[in-house]
């Protein structure tokens, strides 16, 4: 499996983060990599993440999005502590619309949740879709990365076959 990974170097430097192949860690809380074989952006958050770290992390991720234009994302939150509602709203308001514009195509996002958070999150945001112009961000929640990856493949296959997603 070939992957390119991102290392954040300096948040204050206009969100400039070099792409490197050696690692993908921001303060031990974020790993982000692009798998070229499956054309999937893989994001994993760990532990307690403060608002500033979320913003820094997503600035890094957006560098990868602009470079690779991934239509398939796996957002693994199994090892992350809870996050503030304001931070969640910030991601939906600022990150996802910019990602849709950068990719200029539909994005399919498999969110992997810990068992204890699965039911409460599903109640609030199951089936969320974000629309920018005529592009959609389709989000689905899973307990296991493998089921999320299968869903991503099926969604891309359906889209390529011309089916409504």
Q: What is the rounded CA–CA span in Å between residue 55 and residue 1?
A: 29
Per-residue pLDDT tens over the stretch 63-77: 999 999 999 999 999
Among 126, 155, 117, smallest CA distance to 40 is for: 155
Is residue 160 exposed (0-12), middle (13-18) or buried (19+ Cβ within 10 Å)?
exposed
Count other C-beta atoms under 10 Å from residue 127's C-beta. 9
CA quadruple 138, 143, 149, 151: dihedral sign: negative
Q: What is the pTM of this model?
A: 0.79
Per-residue pLDDT tens over the stretch 119-133: 555 445 434 558 888
Q: Where are the domains of the chain?
A: 3-160
- The superfamily (CATH) of domain 3-160 is STAS domain (3.30.750.24)
């Amino acid at each position: 499996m070939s992957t390119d990974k991102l290392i954040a170097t300096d948040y204050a430097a206009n969100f400039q983060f070099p792409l490197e192949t050696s690692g993908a860690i921001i303060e031990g809380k974020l790993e982000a990599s692009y798998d070229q074989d499956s054309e999937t952006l893989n994001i994993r958050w760990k532990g307690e993440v403060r608002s500033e770290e979320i913003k820094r992390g997503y600035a890094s991720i957006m560098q990868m999005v602009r470079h690779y234009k991934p239509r398939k994302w796996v957002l693994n939150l199994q090892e992350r502590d809870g996050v503030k509602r304001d931070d969640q709203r910030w991601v939906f308001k600022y990150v996802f619309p910019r990602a849709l514009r950068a990719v200029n195509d539909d994005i399919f996002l498999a969110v992997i949740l810990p068992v204890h958070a699965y039911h409460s999150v599903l109640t609030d945001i199951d089936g969320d879709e974000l629309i920018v112009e005529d592009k959609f961000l389709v989000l689905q929640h899973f307990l296991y990365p493998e089921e999320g990856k299968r869903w991503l493949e099926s969604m891309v296959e359906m889209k390529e076959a011309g089916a409504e997603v």
